[in-house]
Amino acid sequence: MSPTIAVVGAALAGLSAARALRDQSFDGRIVVIGDEVHAPYDRPPLSKEFLAGTASLDDIGLGAPDDEELGLEWRLGTTAVGLDRVSRSVLLSDGSEVRADGVVLATGARARRLPGSEGLGGVHVLRSLDDAIALREDLASASRLVVIGAGFIGAEVASTARKLGLEVTVVEAMPVPLAGPLGAEMGAVCAELHADHGTRLLTGSGVAGLVGTGRVEAVELTDGTRLPADVVVVGIGAIPNIEWLADSGVALGNGVLTDARGVTNIPGVVAVGDCAAAWSVSAERHVRIEHWTHALEQPATAVATLLGAEGAVPASVPYFWSDQYGARIQFAGSRREDDVARVVEGSCAERSFLVVYERDDVPVAVLGMNQPRLFTRWRRQLRSAVPAPS
Amino acid sequence: MIPVCLTTALPPGEATRIEAEEPIAVFNVDGDFYAIDDTCTHQDASLADGWLDGCSVECPLHASCFDLRTGKVSGPPAKTPVRTHRVVVQDGMVYVQPGITADGAA
């Protein structure tokens, strides 16, 4: 009997894993399990073109014409509820199970919700296609939007809503937005885009709660300020979807714990994408990465181990981007708190610049705004400078 | 034929953009020249600004990959191929023939 590999998760990481299996000449059965009813789609446009109504569902589908040839067995609209480590079976919400010789965990992450916001109309998170459809419908009849959280999702939603003509206020608990990924100095520079485009940004502002019965009417801040709102979007991060593995024996932390290749503590089980926290040689700890490019590229390494290859981990440089207010923000590398940011091209005031982060005078990360060509060169240079992990 | 540049002006691993009816990106892959539509089919970005890796170029914005030889998408999120254009090298000069694909079809 030909072997079966179950891929749990039908978004970018799961689809990439399935494609990589075929690329690597696996000709057995591949079952792809997805809790959403939709075929794989691209998430980045959900906060931008799809939300604005300029991209259709068809536009954002991840399927390619050649995918038919992959011969995948889809189990969409079915949630995985458990994993039996002994029989290596994935238990599904409809009571059935998929027995497999190898399992790829690619269940992703879900948006963190604001406690106390359950059941209140007009309050949204944005992670899935259905989230985006619901938000788009709600924005169509709204005039005031409050976004809680000035991270990339929050900033992109604010940008799209401004374009749709809404009055937008972004509330951020930290003194500077994006200080985590970009550092305080450059986070502040990128956050200036809000004011440039008429979005009000309130930093260092805690949310005390939401006001309204049945439907949200305002966001109340800890200093007592009430921000009237027809719609509220909560963009305060994501939580890995790993609870279903609690009794499986798979080692869990802030994600499914794996080695640098994506291999878990259970033989024949690997984890990829947003649900996985892989060992980072450079950081000397498990790191969960939520970048699109990571979900695209990492599965090839993980599935190679399922097929018995002792493949080395390819050198890669973390990379992400954000499109907001017409500006293209791109970041690559691994930044630490005490790295020094230096503008090497353009200027922050012109909203067109390239910044290099240096540690002991060595470039370790790069940030570009509206500098795709130069940024790509730097990104390439960073990769060539990364020693292959041993 | 549209003159692009001297072969020496476009070293291996480099790309340049020329204006035509639609902008065209010309690449030098280890001495072989390829030309494709410059604008990514996913979103407005110049592929000449992208990351050249073998015979594949990665869009500088959203990482879509295209095969320079065929124009086919080799990595998401793009789904539509780019057109290829025939490249002619003559007397140390690179030319592009827009409207004629790399494999010679009009």
Tell me what pLDDT residue B106 has: 65
Return all residues near A388 (Cβ < 8 A) that are at least 6 apart: A312, A313, A314, A315
Pairing state of beta strands B15-18 and B2-6?
A: unpaired
Between residues A384 and A215, the one the model is more confident about:
A215
Give me the CATH number covering residue A358: 3.30.390.30
**Residue A318: inside a domain, yes or no?**
no
d(C-alpha A131, C-alpha A260), whole Å:
32
- Of the candidates A84, A131, A92, the residue with the CA atom closest to the CA atom of residue A231: A131
Furthest CA-CA distance within chain A: 66
**Mean pLDDT rounded to a whole number for chain A:** 95
Residue A276 lies in a domain: yes
pLDDT at A235 over 50: yes
Q: List the single residue in B with minimal CA-CA distance to A331.
A: B61
Instruction: Summarize the confidence of residues A107-112 as an average pLDDT.
Output: 97
Does A156 map to a domain? yes
Average pLDDT on A226-244 reads 98
Structural domain harbouring A179:
113-236
**Considering its fold, how many domains does chain A have in total?**
3
Q: Are both A249 and A105 inside the same structural domain?
A: yes
Q: Which chain A residues touch B77 with a CB distance below 8 Å?
A: 42, 44, 60, 62
Let me know whether A247 and A340 are in one domain.
no
Least confident of A107-111, A296-300, A384-388: A384-388
What ranges do the domains of chain B cover? 2-97
User: What pLDDT does A390 receive?
Assistant: 41
Name the fold adopted by B2-97: Rieske Iron-sulfur Protein (2.102.10)
Name every chain B residue with its beta carbon within 8 A of the beta carbon of A296. Answer: 63, 75-76
18-47 in A: which are within 8 Å (CB) of B?
Answer: 42, 44
Specify whether A296 is located in the same domain as A181: no
Helix residue spans in A86-222 (DSSP H): 129-140, 152-163, 179-182, 184-196
- Residues A296, A300, A306, A307, CA torsion sign: positive
Task: Name the pLDDT band for A12 (thresholds 50, 70, 90).
Answer: very high
**Residue numbers in chain B where pLDDT is lower than 70:** 106
Overall average pLDDT of the A373-390 stretch: 78
Exposure string of A161-192, with b = 16+ CB inside 10 Å and e = fewer, is: bbebebbbbbbbbbebbbbebbbbebbbbbbe
Closest-approach residue (CA) in chain A for B13: A377
Answer whether B60 touches A (CB < 8 Å). Answer: yes
Lowest model confidence (mean pLDDT) among A89-98, A210-219, B37-46, B97-106? B97-106
Task: Report the CATH number that the domain containing residue A150 is assigned in CATH.
Answer: 3.50.50.60
The residue that leads in pLDDT, A317 or A38, is A38
Shared domain for A152 and A256, answered yes or no, is no
Pairing of strands A352-359, A362-369: antiparallel
The whole-number pLDDT of residue A118 equals 86
Q: Identify from A48, A296, A317, A320 which residue to disrupt to test chain B contact, counting B C-beta atoms within 10 A and taking the largest count.
A: A296
Winning range, highest mean pLDDT, from A309-323, A348-362, A375-389: A348-362
Same domain, A133 and A216: yes
Min Cα separation B33/chain A (Å): 20
**Is it the case that residue A314 has pLDDT exceeding 90?**
no
Would you say residue A379 lies in a domain? yes
Query: Does A177 share its domain with A259?
Result: no
For residues A247 and A273, membership in a common domain is answered with yes
Structure tokens at B103: 């494999």
Find the Cα–Cα–Cα–Cα dihedral B5, B11, B14, B17, rounded to 10°: 0
Please, which pLDDT band fits residue A257 given cuts at 50, 70 and 90? very high
Tell if the CB–CB gap between B79 and A44 is shorter than 8 Å. Answer: no
> What confidence score (pLDDT) does residue A201 get?
98
Residues A165 and A203 in one domain: yes
Residue A111 near residue A27 (C-beta atoms within 8 A): no
Q: Tell me, yes or no, whether A194 and A255 share the same domain.
A: no
For the segment A330-343, the average pLDDT, to the nearest whole number, is: 94
* Mean pLDDT of all residues in A226-241: 98
Claim to verify: residue A121 and residue A106 sit in the same structural domain: no
pLDDT given for residue A281 in this prediction: 84
ipTM: 0.86
Q: In what order do the strands lie in the sheet with A252-253?
A: A252-253, A255-258, A276-280, A285-288
Q: Is residue A312 part of a domain?
A: no
- Per residue in A136-190, pLDDT tens? 999 999 999 999 999 999 999 999 999 999 999 999 999 999 999 999 999 999 9
Q: Is A180 among the domain residues?
A: yes
For residue range A56-79, what is the model confidence (pLDDT) as tens digits?
Answer: 999 999 988 788 899 999 999 999
Q: Token pair of B41, please?
A: 């089919």
pTM across the whole model: 0.93
Structural element, H or E, at residue A60? helix A57-60
User: Tell me: the pLDDT tens digits for A27-57?
Assistant: 999 999 999 999 999 999 999 999 999 999 9
Pick the more confident residue, A281 or A349. A349
Residue A314 lies in a domain: no
**Contact check, Cβ <8 Å, B49/A64:** no
Same structural domain, A230 and A255: no
Pair A165, A83 in one domain = no
